[in-house]
Structure 1
Amino acid sequence: MLKYFRETGYLFICLLLFAILLLAFLWALSIGTVKLPLAQIYTVIVNQLQSDLPVEAVGRSAAHDIVWLLRLPRLVLAAAVGCGLASCGVIMQAIVKNPLADPYILGISSGASLGATAAILLGVGAALGENFVGIAAFIGAFCISLAVLFISNLGGRSNSMKLLLAGMALSAVCSAFSSFIVYFANNKEGMQTIAYWMMGSFAGAKWDNLAVIVPIVILAVLFFWSQSRILNLMLLGDEAAVTLGTDLHIYRQVYLLISSLIVGFVVYAAGMIGFVGLIVPHVVRMLVGTDHKKLIPVTALVGAVFLVIADGLCRIIIPRTELPIGILISLIGAPCFVYLMIKRTYGFGGN
C-alpha cells in the first residue's frame, strides 16, 4: 500500500509540473513590451499550425510575428535548455559522485569559452556562417570533453577522481588561453560581446535550430531515464558495482560524452547559463529521493519550468530592457545553494 501511494504521488508531481509548464508558457507568451491576450495567442498558434506557409514566414500580422517568431521559439529553447542542463547535472553528479558537480564541472565551460573567445576576437570559424560563435563554442566544449576522457584514461582506467582532476587541469589551460587571447586582441567591442555571451540569452532562438536541439535533448533524457539502474549503482561506487556484477567504466565514458553533447548544443544556442544543473537536481532530490528512475524525469520538468519562468521575468523586471538570464539565474541560484549547504536535514543522496 505504501508503495502504491509513493507511485501515485510521483505521477501526481509529474502531471502537476507538466501543467505548470503549460501555464508558464501561456504567461510568458502574453507578457513583454507588447501585452497580448490569451485568446489572440491561441488564435495565432492554431492558425500557424493549420497553415501551409513556412515556419519562419514573416509579415502575416504583428501578433503572429511576436508570438510565433519571437516569443514561442525562445520559450521552447528555454524549456529545452532547462531540461538538458538539469538532467546533465544529475548525470554529472552521479558520474563523479560529487554533490557540487554541475554540467560544466569537467572543463566544458572553459572549452566553450575558449571557442567563443577565439571566434569573436580572432574570427576563427567565421566561414561557418552567422552562428559561427556558437558553433566554435560547441566544438570547444566537445573537444575538451574528449580530452578529459583521454587524459583520465592515461596510466590506467579512469575513475571519478581522475575525471575531476583532468577536468580541473584542462579548465585552467583553457582559461589561460582565453585570457591570453583577450589580453593581446585589445578589442573592447569584442570583449563586451564575450561578456554578453557569457551571461546567456534565448533571444537568438530560431525554429530551424530548435528542430535539431529539442529532439536531441528529449532523446538524451529518455536514454538517461532508461539507465536509472546503472546511475543508482554509480552512487554506490565502483567496488560495490563490480560486486553486483556491473563494470561502470564504459557507462561512465558514454554518459559523459552524451552529457557533453547536450551541453555543447546548449552553449551553441544560448551561451553560458550556470546554476541550473547544480541547484535543480538537489531540490528535486528533496522531493522524490535518490532513485534516478524518478529523479531524472522530475528534474527535467523542473528545469524546463524554471528557465521558462526565468526568461519571462528577464523581459519584465526592467521595462523595455531584457536582463541577461545568466544574471537572474545567479541571483536566484547562489542563495538557494547556500541554503542547501546550511540545511542540516539535507545531504547528497537525499538523506
Structure 2
Amino acid sequence: MCYGRNAQATLAIGSWHKVLLPLILLWATKAVVVVNALPLNGCEDQYYCGNITIPYPFGTREGCYMNENFLITCNRTYNPPLAFMGKTNINVTEIWLSGELRVTAYVAEDCYNQTGWTTSYHDPWLRLSNFPISNTRNRFTVIGCDTVAMINGSSGTNYATGCISLCADKKDVVEGSCFGIGCCQTAIPKGVMDFNIRVISFYNHTTVWDFNPCSYAFVVEEGAYNFSKQDLRDFRNRTIETPVVLNWAIGDQNCSEAKKDPQNYACTSKDNRTVCLDSDNGKGYYCSCSKGFEGNPYLPDGCQDIDECQNATLSLCAQKCTNYNGTYECSCEPGYEGDAKSDGTGCRRKPSTLIVRVALGEKH
C-alpha cells in the first residue's frame, strides 16, 4: 500500500490495519535523446572525467561552465576519476543535453536482530539547490515484509509520500512484483529539490526475521531496479547506492521571457539551428538542436547538419537521396516515377519505358 500527502508528516507506529493510506502507483517513462555533445572551445582537456563526458553548459573549471550551477568537480584521486556536482559529494555518472543528468543516492535501511533490537539504521538525504528530481524517470521503492517508509522533502511546499510493504511468509512474495507484498513503489512529485528517507517497522521484523531482518527504501531510476526475493535477506550486501535522474535547466525564466534578453539567452547555435523548450519540472528552459541537426545547442557552432542520406534508418528514400542543410530530398532515377519514398508510392517504371523495352525484347 502507498500513501501521500502535502504536509509535514508524522506517522504513529501501531498495528498496520490502523494506518489508512491511499494507493499510489503511477508509471511513466521518458525517452532520453543521445546527441554528440561538445565542450566549450579551449576546454577540450576538461571534456572527460573518468568514464563520463562533461558537455557545456557544464564544465570542470572556471571559464568552461555557464555559471556555478553547472560546475562539475572531477576528483582524480579515484581510479577512474569521479565527477561530483559542484562542491558536494553527489556523484554524477552521466549528463544528457536533453535536460537530465544521472547521480547516485544512498539506500535507507532499518535492520534488527532476532530479538528485535536495532543493529543498523540509516536515513539518507539528498539536497539539491537547483536541479529537481525527475518525477517521470524515478520511483520511490521500498523493500521489506514488516515495513513502512516515507520520503519527506520540499517542492516549494513541504511534502511527504511513501508506501507500506507487508508479508507473512516468503512464499507469498512474487519474484519481480513490486505491488505491496515484499516490495512497493510510488511516484515522486514534481519540483522536488531535496528529500529525506525514513524507514520503520511495525514489529521490529520479529515475525519475519528468518527471511527478512531489514527494511530498505530508496529513490531509483525507472527500470534500473528489478525486485528479487533474495533482496529481502541481503539487499544491503549488494547495493548501497542507486541511480537517480535529475532534471536541469537554464535560469528561472521560460523561453518567451529568456528570448527578450538576447545577451544572456542560452540557445546560441547559429542560423536558427536551435529550439527552446520550457522545463516541465520546475523553472527555467533548455535548448535542443532543430530537426535535421545534432550536437550541442549551447555552442555557436554546436548544432551540425545530419546527413540522413548516409544512414538508411534516417531517410525514407526508395532510390536517390540528396542531403541539404537540415533536411534531405528523395527522388527517382530517370525512367521512374512516384513520390520516391519507401513508405509511400516509391519509384516505379514509367509506362513509356516499359513499352520501349518490350518492343526491343528486353526483360523487365
TM-score, length-scaled by structure 2: 0.25
Q: 1 or 2, which has the higher strand percentage?
A: 2
Q: 1 or 2, which has the higher helix percentage?
A: 1
TM-score, length-scaled by structure 1: 0.26
